[in-house]
Chain A
Amino acid sequence: AQKITQTQPGMFVQEKEAVTLDCTYDTSDPSYGLFWYKQPSSGEMIFLIYQGSYDQQNATEGRYSLNFQKARKSANLVISASQLGDSAMYFCAMRESTSNYGGSQGNLIFGKGTKLSVKP
């Protein structure tokens, strides 16, 4: 079973509008972290935002916010005031605490991504 599901292969948004990218996850670990990364065509993964499973408030970072609904196991990324430079692939990822080992952190599990295109 997929642990991270991104159901939108592609999304279009008009410049300056807000857009929501969907992500649902599956884990039985009570302690986990959820991440969003942006991947431009150059290939490098750029960290955007993080949400911990015990965090009471939704995470925000500038124009990025995470709509965390724990009971529904969803962690949607909201980008406000879209810019042309936001056009890229966006990946949702999860790290479970059970994958940690001693002082090191476990691996990230990624979804298949959503390609966002911002129209001028």
Chain B
Amino acid sequence: DAGVTQSPTHLIKTRGQHVTLRCSPISGHKSVSWYQQVLGQGPQFIFQYYEKEERGRGNFPDRFSARQFPNYSSELNVNALLLGDSALYLCASSSPLAGVYNEQFFGPGTRLTVL
């Protein structure tokens, strides 16, 4: 089975532009989470979607938005890009089991550079 896929792999944008990152979860997984990993730091939680509804939001400005589609794929949108948005954006999916133990499977990430 295919793992979590993300596109594009790399992206270069300039300040003020808009960007859309895409994620396809593992087949059968209904939950998708987005994380931002700035160089030298651990990933920071941005959003979680489950059954097409937002179920969690991290401490990020409103320039960040996301959505989940009926096939459970997801998009992360960032408006008015800032230099500080340069990071690796990771998508993770998990199966619909409840409980604290539920492994999140991560994709390879999208490396965004803002110039």
Contacts and interface: CB of A to CB of B under 8 A. Distances in A.
B100 A44 contact: no
A76 interface: no
B86 to A, nearest CB: 14
Q: Chain B contact residues: over half helix, strand or loop, or mixed?
A: loop
B84 to A, nearest CB: 17
B101 A50 contact: yes
Interface string B32-65: 0101000011111100101100011010000000
B42 A110 contact: yes
A99 B104 contact: no
Interface string A101-118: 111111111111100000
Contact of B50 (A35, A43, A101, A110): A101
A42 B109 CA distance: 9
Given A91-B42, A104-B55, A109-B45, A44 B108 contact: yes
Interface of B: 30-31, 33, 35, 40-45, 48, 50-51, 55-56, 58, 88, 90, 92, 94, 96-109, 111
